[in-house]
Chains A and B, each alone.
Chain A
């Protein structure tokens, strides 16, 4: 089945540690995104990538890093510089305009709940 998979579902991080959240898609989508969601709030864009080996900062990129070495994968690292990392993280992907001449909706993974302990 085609889809987008995030792992793990729950992640615990100690103070000062870096952690990496996995996001994999088999939808052949060029574009991928990382969002952060805090309780009762909307989705804030961390990073997005339109093509392999290229990515752009979103609205809250500080304390986060990403890579896009493969089309299928867009891992997010939460570094120790992120002072308040406890949140729900959502990964998404979509067909890009460059692929079809039209955008389409984003498909989402099931999310990773990160907690600092």
Chain B
């Protein structure tokens, strides 16, 4: 069974700083997808970034980028030039490619951006 672990329950940084959220996962699969989702106070889940395991290049989306280390089973999210609107819960998630499509989430990291 796949598991996803986020070891930082809470983080806090000043506006415009860079912050990195950690995520590790455990799987015996070779082909899979990893995601970071954001849940602001509205509680709407929003996809931040996605990484296919077969791609060596790290995904980037504007100020958001990941550091994907497949051998170490690590998938961290870096937020550059953080903004007040980045304040939210952030969830790391795993989905196997093909077969039983079970989307598994970590426990989440509560990120606060201070003015």
Question: Hey, which bits of chain A sit against chain B, CB under 8 A?
Answer: 31, 33, 35, 40-45, 48, 50, 56, 58, 88, 90, 92, 94, 96-98, 102-103, 105-106, 108, 110-111
Contacts and interface: CB of A to CB of B under 8 A. Distances in A.
B84 interface: no
A97 B106 contact: no
Contacts of A92: 45, 103
A43 B97 CA distance: 20
Given A42-B107, A88-B43, A111-B43, A105 B35 contact: yes
A44 B43 CA distance: 15
A45 B43 contact: no
Contact of A42 (B43, B102, B108): B108
A67 B39 CA distance: 27
A87 to B, nearest CB: 12
A41 B102 contact: no
B91 interface: yes
Nearest to B110: A40
B101 A103 contact: yes
Nearest to B1: A59
A42 B105 contact: yes
A4 B35 CA distance: 19
A103 B95 contact: yes
Contact of A50 (B6, B33, B100, B110): B100
Contacts of B16: none
B11 interface: no
A94 B105 CA distance: 15
A108 B105 CA distance: 14
A31 B100 CA distance: 10
B108 A97 contact: no
Residue in B43, B45, B47, B97 with the greatest tally of chain A CB atoms within 10 Å: B45
Contacts of B108: 40-42
A110 B43 contact: yes
A43 B44 contact: no
16 contacts: A42-B91, A43-B91, A45-B105, A48-B103, A58-B102, A88-B43, A94-B95, A97-B99, A103-B95, A103-B97, A103-B98, A106-B35, A106-B45, A106-B93, A106-B95, A111-B44
